[in-house]
Amino acid sequence: MRDIRSQLSDWPSDSIEDAFECPAQHLGIIYDQLGKAYTHKQRSIWEIHSSRGHKAVHVAHSLECVINRHAMLRSVFVPSLDNRMEPIQVVLKEISAAIQIVTASDIKAAVQLQEFKAIQCRDRPLPHLSILTDGPDGQIWWLFKFDKALIDAASMTIVLQELATLLNCHSCPLDLAPSYSKYVSAVHEIKPKQCLRFWRRTLRGIVPCLLTKSPSSLLRCPSPEPRVCTVSKELTALDTLAALWKASGFTATNAFQTVWGLVLARSIAPTDVCYGGLKSCRDAAVPGILQRVGPLFNILPCRLQFKSVHPTMSELSDILLSNQSAMAERAPTTSIRLYRVSSRLLGSIITSCSTHV
């Protein structure tokens, strides 16, 4: 801790609650496989209705209580003097100017909040920003934006639940949040060499799955510039699928991973495919992990070996069973950094990623 503190000499010591090395799992979603920093920009707009006549100022007070409860919402990331790719996470005792209330009669729609330029913190950039305003029909609009992969979807649910609790109670009755530093300590105790041995064995012989340009007219683009292509497909008979997963013991994550693996196999011909799969870190044996706010997810390699690109139901069942076991085997390596796996072992092997919500 002394070494870390020595790198923060230009920070007022009374402003810092805690400081520690950023966990490897978090680094893995801040930097890509080539070691380049991602530009994470998350933005959401929420509409709040209150039967108690709440205004933006009440929401601001409750939101401040939530921020003060969770270390991650008071964290900034400072480049380490030893290695700029391994930043130090600094937990501040308080975040000033993170919540701003806008009063403007010309705001008629929530999306207009994006047009307002926030008041910037003089000393350092804010880890996140909330802009609140009272809507014309008694609602409150809340623009919440942040970067550096600050929190995951489960964390956002926790924030919303706690905010609703505070607004309903007109007070700040929440207990202290689980210590985030204890989770970080648990992650740092994991032996990276053991994780690398596991992945060296698991990924032996794999080659990158390079997707070719799709012939589909839906995905054709006259512009040479890269762009996001979106194809929507509605799933039917969800109840039947849910019943099937329950009866078989397979998880929805397993099913979606297998489907994407089959898509890759049919697209690139090799039946041995590898891609990135989103993995929650909330199954770690750390007390309070389910109530903790943070970027508790990672991307890990997922390897599937099909016998053919048109498997029989029996072969597909075998793949699902095999992947279910592999998911359990990958669990102890959840905190490892994908960049470390690819750079130490196989190069840039991950060319696509599968996730579902």
Question: Which among 147, 194, 193, 132 is positioned nearest to 295, based on CA atoms?
Answer: 147
The secondary structure of residue 343, as a DSSP letter, is I
CATH number for 1-177 (one of 1.10.10.10, 1.10.150.120, 3.30.470.20, 3.30.559.10): it is 3.30.559.10
Is residue 254's pLDDT more than 70?
A: yes
Is residue 102's pLDDT more than 60?
yes
Q: Around Cβ 337, how many Cβ atoms within 10 Å?
A: 23
pLDDT, tens only, 52-99: 889 999 999 999 999 999 999 998 888 887 777 778 888 988 887 889
pTM for the model: 0.82
Where in the chain is CATH 3.30.559.10? 1-177
Confidence of residue 2 (pLDDT cuts 50, 70, 90): very low
User: How far is Cα 333 from Cα 187, in angstroms, rounded to an integer?
Assistant: 10
Q: Per-residue pLDDT averaged across 181-188, rounded?
A: 87
Fold of 189-209+236-346: Chloramphenicol Acetyltransferase (3.30.559)
Location of each CATH 3.30.559.30 domain in the chain: 189-209+236-346
Angle between helices 313-330 and 252-268 in degrees, nearest 10: 120
31: tokens are 């930097």
